[in-house]
Amino acid sequence: MCCLEPLPQLNPSFYVKALLELHRQVCPVEQYPNLMILRLSNESLFETILPRIMSDYREYTKTISDQADEYYTYANDYYSCNLIPISHSIELRDARHVTYSIRTIFFYPKWMYKEFHMDPNGTIATAFRSGYEVVYDLDNTMEIFHWNNHSSQTITIDPHNIVVPNEMHDLYGFEIELYLSDIVRKAMPFETYFLEHVANKINGTAYVTELFTGRMSVVPLFGRHIQGSIGIVAGMGTTFWAVTVPRAKPKSIVSVLVDPLDMYTWITYFISVLIMAAVFESGIYDYYYNNVTQINLHYVHDTFVDRVVKVSDLTLLWCVYGCGTLLCVVCFVMEIVIHSESKGL
C-alpha cells in the first residue's frame, strides 16, 4: 500500500485576510455602508471564518439572511455591498436585471466551479458576471475572478497581492452615448467637445444621439427636468451622476492679462518693484559714483545718464537682481509645498 500524503492544516486567517482586503477595495465604507451577507452555503469553512468577518466589519451596517429569494432585493441596492457564500446550485431570480455597478463578492468551493459555469446563461453564471468570484480550496489556496464588461474578458486577481483595477480607466471602445437634441447641439457645442475629450482619455467612443433610449450615458441638464422628456427628474441612485461644468463668461482685457499669473507671482513681482524703487530713491547710485576712487585727481563728476554704464558699475543692480531671483525661487518652493499639503488634506 502506498502512503497517502497528509492533508495540509487549514489556515482560516488566509481566507479571512483575502476576503477583507478584497471587500475593502471593492466596497469602501464611505460609498457602500451596508453589508449584506446572503448565506447560501453549508460549508464548514465559511462557518469558521464568519465570526471573524463580522467582528472586523464594525463600520458597516450588517444584515444576514439565508433566503435566496432576497437576492435581487439586496443585490440591486445601490448602497449595499453583498457577500454571498454559495455551495450548491440554486436559482438566483432576476439576476439579469441587477445593475452592473452593484458590488457583490461570491465565495464558493473550487469543486463547484464547473457546475456553476456549465450553463453560461444560467442565473448563477449571470450573477457571477456582475461581481467577483472568490474560488477557494481546502489546501489554503484561492483564486479571484472578475468579468470585465467592457473588454468581455475574465481577469484574475492575485489573492496574495490584491489590487482591484479601476475599469473606468479603459473602456475598450465602449460607446458613451450622449443625448442631445439638434437645437441644443447647434446652440451649445461644448457638450459634444467635452464628451469627445473624456472618451479619448478613457479609450471610449463618443456617440451623440437625438433619440431618448435606455442606452444613453450622458444627458445635459438645463433645469430640473431632462430635456425632451416628460415626468423624469434627476434623482439619487444608479442612474444619475452630476458633473458641474462652469461656463466661460466675457472678461475684460485686464482680467485676461492678470488671470495667468497666480497670487505668489504677483507678490514676488511687487516685492521686486519695491526693492528696486527703494534702491533708486535712497540715492545709492549717487553715493556710489560720488565716492568712487579715481586715479585722476581732477575728477569731474558726470551724471549717471550721460556716461557709459559698464558691468562693474552695476554691482549693486546685480545684487538686487540676485536677491529678486532668490526670492522668486523661495516663493516657488513655498507654493509647491503649500499646494502639496492642501492637496493631501
Residues 151, 16 share a domain: yes
Residues 336, 233 share a domain: no
Q: Which of 123, 157, 191 represents a domain boundary (last residue)?
A: 157
CA distance 179 to 165: 29
Looking at residue 117, which CATH number applies to its domain? Answer: 3.40.50.2300
Residues 208, 117 share a domain: no
Span of 28-32, 150-154, 184-188 with lowest mean pLDDT: 184-188
Residues 147, 79 share a domain: yes
Listed residue (83, 105, 112) closest to 162, CA to CA: 105
Asked whether residue 83 is assigned to any structural domain, the reply reads: yes
The more confidently predicted of residues 320 and 313 is 320
Asked whether residue 201 is assigned to any structural domain, the reply reads: yes
Residues 266, 143 share a domain: no
Residues 97, 145 share a domain: yes
Listed residue (79, 103, 234) closest to 167, CA to CA: 103
Asked whether residue 5 is assigned to any structural domain, the reply reads: no
Q: What is the mean pLDDT of residues 297-302?
A: 54
Give the tens place of pLDDT for each residue, 90-136.
Answer: 888 777 777 655 688 999 999 999 999 999 888 888 888 888 999 99
- Which range of residues forms the domain containing residue 216? 168-244
Residues 97, 26 share a domain: yes
Asked whether residue 163 is assigned to any structural domain, the reply reads: no
Residues 153, 182 share a domain: no
Asked whether residue 3 is assigned to any structural domain, the reply reads: no
Please tell me the predicted confidence (pLDDT) of residue 158: 94
Greatest Cα pair distance in the chain:
124
The residues, any chain, with a CB within 8 Å of residue 171's CB and separated by 6 or more, are 150, 199, 202, 203, 204, 205
Q: What is the mean pLDDT of residues 29-50?
A: 86
Asked whether residue 67 is assigned to any structural domain, the reply reads: yes
Q: What is the mean pLDDT of residues 14-37?
A: 87
Residues 257, 238 share a domain: no
Note whether 5 and 81 are within 8 A (CB): no
If one counts the domains in the chain, the total is 3
Strands 175-179 and 61-65: unpaired
Residues 273, 192 share a domain: no
* Cell numbers standing for residue 66: 439565508
Hey, is 308 helix, strand or coil?
coil
CB count in 10 Å sphere of residue 108: 24
Give the tens place of pLDDT for each residue, 158-168.
Answer: 999 999 988 88
| 40 φ/ψ angles, rounded to the nearest 5 degrees | -120, 30
Taking the CA of residue 296 as centre, how many other CA atoms within 13 Å lie in the half-sphere pointing to its CB?
4
Is the confidence at residue 9, as pLDDT, over 90?
Answer: no
Residues 61, 30 share a domain: yes
What pTM value is reported for the model? 0.61
Q: Which residues pair with 104 in a beta bridge?
A: 82
238-277 burial code (b ≥16 CB/10 A, e <16): eeeeeeeeeeeeeeeeeeeeeeeeeebeeebeeebeeeee
Residues 270, 173 share a domain: no
Give the tens place of pLDDT for each residue, 261-277.
Answer: 566 667 777 777 777 66
Please tell me the predicted confidence (pLDDT) of residue 318: 72
Q: Which of 103, 122, 157 represents a domain boundary (last residue)?
A: 157
Asked whether residue 298 is assigned to any structural domain, the reply reads: yes
